[in-house]
Structure 1
Amino acid sequence: MTATTTTVPTARAAVVDTPAHRDGNVLRWLAAYTASMTGDSVYYIALSWAAVQSGTPAQAGIVMSVSALPRALLMLGGGVIADRLGPRRVVIGSDAVRCLTVLAVAALLFLTSPGLWPLALLALAFGTVDAVFLPAVGALPARVTSRGQLTRVQGMRGLGIRFAGVVGGPLGGLAVAVGGAAAAFAFAGLLIAISVPLLVSVRIRELPADDAPAGAEPVSDGAGGGKTRAKDAVGTAWHDLRVGLRYIRRHRVLAPLMLAIALGDLGFVGPLNVGLTLLADERGWGASGMGWVLGGFGAGAGLASLLLAVRGRVPHAGHVMAYACLGGAVAIGALAFVPDVVAAAGVALLVGLLAGLSGALCGALLQTQADPACLGRVTAVASLVSLGFAPLSMPLSAAAIGAFGTGPVFVTSAAVCGLGGFVVLSAKNLRRAELPT
């Protein structure tokens, strides 16, 4: 850790005895994370509104997609930065930059009407900072609680995401209605700003040697020394990246887990985004019907997060993750064949429950299986798969539905998602993986 990071050398037993949902340190981290994510939701509402008001729909679409390119290109490098500087420092710096950038654009919109160029620059800056922010956010939970509480923390994090999604949209719309895009940007910046002092107050725990999962190969320095990256003070960022990628490739749990995550996201993102809209239009459910289906999915995902937050541990995590993935795949395929919107909402609730459970267990296993010295790079690879590659399935799903209809595409997507479950079952070490107590 860096000299400026607050470190609390706490006895391992004392940390384990404090459940995450009763730990003030974890709750401060959760409040900061939720405030930042809610600010993100308001920001995207403000950006889309301002872009539509300042240009054509095609130009607005370009502005909204600008952030995706730097995020995808720089994500792996962001993981290296998170491991080198420490995730807490990187998250604090990233949120500060995001806050100041959004507030600067808000001030510009209050004073003048500059057109699309500042919005495009804002989106580009946000995507660039996100490439560093997302790996650090993923690596931070392991530094604020014990390994035994990480499953509960994943559930709490899921609740924060659901809260931000449910509350952020209406708040962003209200801010736009009251004061226009400038007011919405200012509100988003203030929400993100709330996270900074909360993160500063979060204490970072030392990572004892026995926090490294048993049976995992150490993060090599490339010369066969077997030293962890935390003790390696030399080497270039490119060298660090290659070390991290090699570590994932050789890991008996993380390698198949990354493949399972990729297949699950590729099969899930298309149907639950573009596909659901086209399905609702085809069946005549309308916007309200699609809202009920999305609400069912959100409720199911929220229930899964609540279950993990309260329970704190799931026995036989590898098996449960595999069967939840397989069950969710069946439910995704069934969405295209349900007779009415009520049944579709019920199936969507099941999809959300099973997908939320498998996703949270993937995150918990990633956190507990990875060497903490490499966790930023591991999180970067997982984030790149979910946010960089999986969205590519959306235009493909739309084109395929136009050519073949909703039924075949949903079934195909379900099969791809189900392959993730079979990968888990076929990988012995992942199938037998357990979460620490």
Structure 2
Amino acid sequence: MPHSFRHNPAFRRFFLGRLLSLVGDAVIPSALALAVLHATGSASALALVLGCAMVPRLVLLPLGGVIADRFNPRTVALTTDLVRCAGQLFVGIELLSGTPELWHIAVAEAIGGAASAFAMPTLSSLIVGIVDEKDRQAANSALGVVRSATLAGGPALAGVLVLTAGPGWAFVLDAASFAVSAALLATLTLNRASAPGEEHRSLRSDLVEGWHEVRSRDWYWTSLVAHATWNGAAAVFATLGPAVAVKELGGDGAWIVIAQAGAVGLLLGSLLSGRARPRRPILVGNLALTTYVLPLGLLALHTPAPAVAAAFGVASAGLGFFNPLWSTAVQAAVPQAVLARVTSYDWLLSLAAMPLGYVLAPLAADAWGEATPLWIAAAAVSLACVATAGMPGVRQFTLNTPADSPGNASANTLAADVSSPDPRRRPSAPRRTPADRPRR
């Protein structure tokens, strides 16, 4: 059992709240799709609802990072849990009424998407505030494991709820999970580097400072380019994979096997990451993401489904292995006072690439065939992830690099941040040198 659990009751409560929220969230995609399609019979209506949730999330993410840095992230997370609880409960009641209105569901999902933009940047700040630095990789890995497990089991749970009780109850379950999570968050006390509201600055200056934090570290911004590319490629695979599997690899069952292999691989990678201690976590993690070339290439070649499934399992394991490493590195290297803003830009770039992949993949497939966008995605992932190894900051990043290690300015700045006894310290004022990972 990780040290984080044995001697940290605050993390145990936080972990339980996250577990319940993830279980609730895992059933929603399938339940929402079935509910909207049953109510309208229109795929366009489903796209509208999904867009209503995605657009506010993307637009408001940077502002969410500013709010989480200016105020207590526990309060921000608690508030957003209550807002999402109310939204999901409203949708559940709407569906249970038997006469759901599409625009009601769309508005509720838009409010939920906006709330998630403020909630997502708080995660790293909450972990830094309740978990000692030496235990953070174990904590991040444990959270990655439950996320992977809920993603694997969520569709099955959604199916049981929808078939036995109706999709409305899936939303009621999600609302209850947010309510419990909010109650558990209310019991936490965070260790913070500085008091909220200590400085009064403009919104623009806070946004600029957060972006400067990202841009000034070559290991960070180059990795974000690679992660955005990876997410765009994942969208291509998710868009074209089912069509290729159904037409060429054996039907619906082939895609189910491939998708389930990915869920299992993600879980195994998360478990492995909790035990691994690579000396150069950013370099190793980014190279692990290059394994996504395997399922993209094999799918383009119409390789039999078992081979594609095995490759997708390996690639998903690479993602599961990478995520805790990335979160731990960012939490160690970025001062707590700006961590939420940095994380919000991380999420923004990762999420923004996925809609692009969703749109371009079918257009390219119609023009040149399905193999072409798959090969383009494979080449882009390989080039972007491997190219990060050429950056000094990526190669030299370690969690115990001495402050006077040789290297370029970016590497030296990083070394000072990581090796400092207090990684949350602010940078010196004259330079204004800045005092997270894909999803995925």
* TM-score (structure 2 length as normaliser): 0.84
Structure 1 position 323 matched with structure 2 position 287: yes
Corresponding residue for residue 261 of structure 1: 227
Q: Report % sequence identity.
A: 24
Corresponding residue for residue 392 of structure 1: 356
Cα drift, residue 177 of structure 1:
2.3
Cα drift, residue 330 of structure 1:
4.4
Cα drift, residue 142 of structure 1:
1.7
CA distance in structure 1 between the partners assigned to 2:164 and 2:246 by the alignment: 32
Which aligned pairs between 1:15-26 and structure 2 lie closer than 5 A? 19-22=3-6, 23-26=8-11
Q: Of residues 204, 213, 224 in structure 2, which corresponds to 1:247?
A: 213
Corresponding residue for residue 295 of structure 1: 260
CA distance in structure 2 between the partners assigned to 1:351 and 1:375 by the alignment: 28
SS for the counterpart of 2:120 is helix
Once the two structures are overlaid, the 10-residue window that deviates more, 158-167 or 260-269, is: 260-269
Counterpart of 2:12, as a letter, is L
Cα drift, residue 335 of structure 1:
3.7
**1:311-337 CA distance string (max 9 Å, x none):** 163322133123213343345323433
CA distance in structure 1 between the partners assigned to 2:110 and 2:334 by the alignment: 31
Corresponding residue for residue 62 of structure 1: 48
Cα drift, residue 53 of structure 1:
2.6
Cα drift, residue 98 of structure 1:
0.7
CA distance in structure 2 between the partners assigned to 1:166 and 1:384 by the alignment: 25
SS for the counterpart of 1:205 is coil
Cα drift, residue 230 of structure 1:
6.1
Counterpart of 1:19, as a letter, is H
CA distance in structure 2 between the partners assigned to 1:29 and 1:37 by the alignment: 12
- Given that 2:71 and 2:196 are in contact with CA atoms closer than 8 Å, whether structure 1 keeps it comes out as no
- Given that 2:231 and 2:354 are in contact with CA atoms closer than 8 Å, whether structure 1 keeps it comes out as yes
SS for the counterpart of 1:67 is helix
Which aligned pairs between 1:133-144 and structure 2 lie closer than 5 A? 133-144=119-130
SS for the counterpart of 2:205 is helix
Structure 1 position 38 matched with structure 2 position 3: no
Counterpart of 1:404, as a letter, is W
Cα drift, residue 157 of structure 1:
1.7
Structure 1 residues 159 and 247: alpha-carbon distance in aligned structure 2, compared to 1, 3 A threshold:
same
Corresponding residue for residue 277 of structure 1: 242
Structure 1 position 308 matched with structure 2 position 291: no
CA distance in structure 1 between the partners assigned to 2:95 and 2:243 by the alignment: 36
CA distance in structure 2 between the partners assigned to 1:139 and 1:269 by the alignment: 28
CA distance in structure 2 between the partners assigned to 1:325 and 1:245 by the alignment: 24
Structure 1 residues 97 and 329: alpha-carbon distance in aligned structure 2, compared to 1, 3 A threshold:
same
Report how many residues are paired.
399
Structure 1 position 286 matched with structure 2 position 251: yes
CA distance in structure 1 between the partners assigned to 2:197 and 2:115 by the alignment: 27
Once the two structures are overlaid, the 10-residue window that deviates more, 326-335 or 143-152, is: 326-335
* TM-score (structure 1 length as normaliser): 0.84
**1:250-269 CA distance string (max 9 Å, x none):** 23432223222222222333
Structure 1 unaligned segments of length 5 or more: list them. Answer: 1-17, 208-227
SS for the counterpart of 2:107 is helix
Structure 1 position 363 matched with structure 2 position 327: yes
SS for the counterpart of 2:82 is helix
CA distance in structure 2 between the partners assigned to 1:300 and 1:86 by the alignment: 36
Cα drift, residue 21 of structure 1:
4.5
Cα drift, residue 386 of structure 1:
1.7
Cα drift, residue 206 of structure 1:
4.1
- Given that 2:229 and 2:384 are in contact with CA atoms closer than 8 Å, whether structure 1 keeps it comes out as yes
Cα drift, residue 73 of structure 1:
0.8
Structure 1 residues 277 and 45: alpha-carbon distance in aligned structure 2, compared to 1, 3 A threshold:
closer
CA distance in structure 1 between the partners assigned to 2:231 and 2:33 by the alignment: 25
CA distance in structure 2 between the partners assigned to 1:51 and 1:331 by the alignment: 31
Counterpart of 2:220, as a letter, is L
**1:139-177 CA distance string (max 9 Å, x none):** 322222122322222221211111221232222222222
Larger RCO (alpha carbons 8 Å, 6+ apart): 1
- Given that 1:296 and 1:346 are in contact with CA atoms closer than 8 Å, whether structure 2 keeps it comes out as yes
Corresponding residue for residue 29 of structure 1: 14
CA distance in structure 2 between the partners assigned to 1:256 and 1:147 by the alignment: 25
Which aligned pairs between 1:178-257 and structure 2 lie closer than 5 A? 178-207=164-193, 232-257=198-223
CA distance in structure 1 between the partners assigned to 2:131 and 2:243 by the alignment: 43
